[in-house]
Amino acid sequence: PDCIGEEVEKVVAAAKEGDVIMLENTRYYKEETKNESGFVEKLAAPFDMYVNDAFGTAHRAHASTEGVTKFLQPSVSGFL
């Protein structure tokens, strides 16, 4: 599915413990690199927490790396 929207919300809500969900790349949205708050809010909406396990992108202030941390707690780094 896409990375935002109703379909994502339904897939996340139906997920069971141990399930893995693969979403579309956020880079297809210009709002990702601009860290636009409306996009960030949609991106974070279906989730409870954020783990950044992508050290190579941690320095970017993009929606999927910095923006979501304002909406998701806890926001933590993974095993890099």
30-72 tens-digit pLDDT? 999 999 999 999 999 999 999 999 888 888 999 999 999 999 9
* Structure-block tokens of residue 48: 């409870």
- Other CB atoms within a 10 A radius of the CB of residue 74 amount to 9
What confidence score (pLDDT) does residue 57 get? 86
Please compute the mean of the pLDDT values over residues 16-40 and round it to a whole number: 97
With a cut of 80, say whether residue 26 has pLDDT above it: yes
Task: Give the confidence band of 79 by pLDDT, cuts at 50, 70, 90.
Answer: confident
What confidence score (pLDDT) does residue 38 get? 97
Within 13 Å, how many C-alpha atoms sit on residue 46's CB side? 17
